[in-house]
Amino acid sequence: MSETLDYMKENHIYRTTTEFSSAQSKYVTLNNKKLLMFASNSYLDLCNNTEIKQFAKGIIDNYGVGSGGSRLTTGSSLLTKQLEDLIANFKNTESAIVFNTGYMANVGTISAICDKEWTIFSDELNHASIIDGCRLSKAKIIIYKHNDMTDLENKILSNPFKKGLIVSDGVFSMDGDIVNLPRLLEIADKYNILSMIDDAHATGVIGINGRGTSEYYNMTKNADITLGTLSKAVGVEGGYVCGNKILIDYLRNKSRAYIFSTALSPASVAASLKAIEIISKNLNNVRQLQYNIQFFCKELQSNGINAKSETAIIPIIIGDEQKTLEISKALLNDGIYISAIRYPTVAKGSARLRVALMSSHTQEELKFTAKRISLRINEVLV
């Protein structure tokens, strides 16, 4: 272990936690310094939302702090039922099931459905929780080129299978690009393969009402399985899976990650309920985020940085691990918090600044940040 840690330190891929002393919001406090947050997954800035906090506090008074059991024993409440119904409605599906995290939703879904009789076709840039779910299932795993539907179809044709699953992120977590859903679903139909989309970074972000990838493409049809998290735009914690009644009933009875873990606390469930209600009712929040994405990309471009994204994730590829860290540290001195993403989260030599926007960032803050990023990159790379 210590040899591995030494190796990681020498290669600038050793990591530590960063301890903030404030709520996660547009401004955060780190080492007594107020910083502008440009790295949070709380895209709609709901983690510290007053209305949601008030509601969750009231729920703690009535329901307490712990759920007291797993979902099939004593851990379910009227609140969890309400949340599942609300999610199914929000995502335009028949039914939904809540897990404790998005990670558990992926691992618990794929491993419950697939076994060694199955072949899984998985995008090379899929989230680690999808990869872990595939591995745990013992299915045959075929990796296709990133968002390359021709390669996907070729791999399907060259790998005879009995039962198949195609799985992809909706919005890719480190590149911020969007899956070619129309084509993926066509292929799934054509070859009679189950389809699964992870909308973790899509829900609350893309689509005219922030409903995610299928709304982004104006499609009425969803993948067979749509999955997501309550920890990103929704601003709380938890994961969910949406689909038809049979799928959800099956997962409730078969998914070990769902069955064998204590249910979310009532406050978390209540906070998610209120957050999704707010996202549904107050569309300005989603629209403002979408406006900020466009505005910020333009600002970066006019500062000489080649950036493009339709999602809240805007990667700025630097390449070298150490230089990426240096730039991120320099930006901290400017009062801006942006994560340096390195191997093994992304491929070696493709280290990047991963900017994450919030709907609450103002035009001045977006302008200032784009300028400082450009300046700091030029300083370090020249």
Give the residue numbers marked as catalytic: 173, 201, 232
What is the closest distance, in whole angstroms, from the C-beta atom of residue 129 to ligand PLP in the complex?
5
Whole-number Å distance between alpha carbons of 359 and 362: 8
Residue with tokens 């901290």: 332
Q: Which is nearer to ligand PLP, 129 or 292 (CB)?
A: 129
Beta-strand pair 339-341/351-356: antiparallel
Whole-number Å distance between alpha carbons of 58 and 187: 48
Out of 123, 169, 321, 365, the residue judged to bind ligand PLP by CB under 6 A: 169
Q: Which stretch binds ligand PLP (CB under 6 A): 175-183, 193-201, 206-214, 323-331?
A: 193-201
Q: Is 147 left (phi over 0), alpha (psi -120 to 50) or beta?
A: left
Verify binding: residue 198, ligand PLP, rule CB under 6 A: yes
Beta-strand pair 118-123/163-169: parallel
Q: What crossing angle do the helices spanning 266-281 and 78-90 adopt, rounded to 10°?
A: 30
What is the closest distance, in whole angstroms, from the C-beta atom of residue 209 to ligand PLP in the complex?
20
Whole-number Å distance between alpha carbons of 44 and 26: 10
Q: Which is nearer to ligand PLP, 180 or 374 (CB)?
A: 180
Size of the site for ligand PLP (CB under 6 A): 14
Q: Is 379 left (phi over 0), alpha (psi -120 to 50) or beta?
A: alpha
Q: Which is nearer to ligand PLP, 340 or 377 (CB)?
A: 340
Q: Which stretch binds ligand PLP (CB under 6 A): 98-106, 209-217, 280-288, 295-303?
A: 98-106
Q: Which is nearer to ligand PLP, 139 or 197 (CB)?
A: 197
The dihedrals phi and psi of 220, each to the nearest 5 degrees, come to -90, -20
Verify binding: residue 231, ligand PLP, rule CB under 6 A: yes
**How crowded is residue 31: how many other Cβ atoms within 10 Å of its Cβ?**
10
Residue with tokens 């179809």: 153
Q: Is the Cβ–Cβ distance between 86 and 236 less than 8 Å?
A: no
Nearest residue to 183 via CA among 195, 172, 175? 195
Out of 112, 200, 275, 297, the residue judged to bind ligand PLP by CB under 6 A: 200
Interaction with ligand PLP in 99-128: which residues (CB under 6 A)?
101-103, 106, 127
What is the closest distance, in whole angstroms, from the C-beta atom of residue 338 to ligand PLP in the complex?
18
Interaction with ligand PLP in 235-294: which residues (CB under 6 A)?
239
Q: Which is nearer to ligand PLP, 98 or 380 (CB)?
A: 98
Q: Which stretch binds ligand PLP (CB under 6 A): 158-166, 195-203, 244-252, 264-272?
A: 195-203
Verify binding: residue 354, ligand PLP, rule CB under 6 A: no
Q: Which stretch binds ligand PLP (CB under 6 A): 194-202, 290-298, 321-329, 333-341?
A: 194-202
**DSSP classification of residue 62:** H
- Amino acid letter, 190: K
What is the closest distance, in whole angstroms, from the C-beta atom of residue 38 to ligand PLP in the complex?
17
Whole-number Å distance between alpha carbons of 136 and 113: 11
What is the closest distance, in whole angstroms, from the C-beta atom of residue 67 to ligand PLP in the complex?
17
Q: Which stretch binds ligand PLP (CB under 6 A): 59-67, 70-78, 197-205, 256-264?
A: 197-205
What number of residues does the chain have? 382
What is the closest distance, in whole angstroms, from the C-beta atom of residue 175 to ligand PLP in the complex?
11
Q: Which is nearer to ligand PLP, 201 or 211 (CB)?
A: 201
Whole-number Å distance between alpha carbons of 315 and 342: 12
Q: Which is nearer to ligand PLP, 202 or 338 (CB)?
A: 202
Q: Is the Cβ–Cβ distance between 213 and 170 less than 8 Å?
A: yes
Starting at the earlier edge strand, list the strands of the sheet with 351-356: 313-319, 351-356, 339-341
Verify binding: residue 40, ligand PLP, rule CB under 6 A: no
- Residues of this chain that interact with ligand PLP (CB under 6 A) are 101-103, 106, 127, 129, 169, 173, 198, 200-201, 229, 231, 239
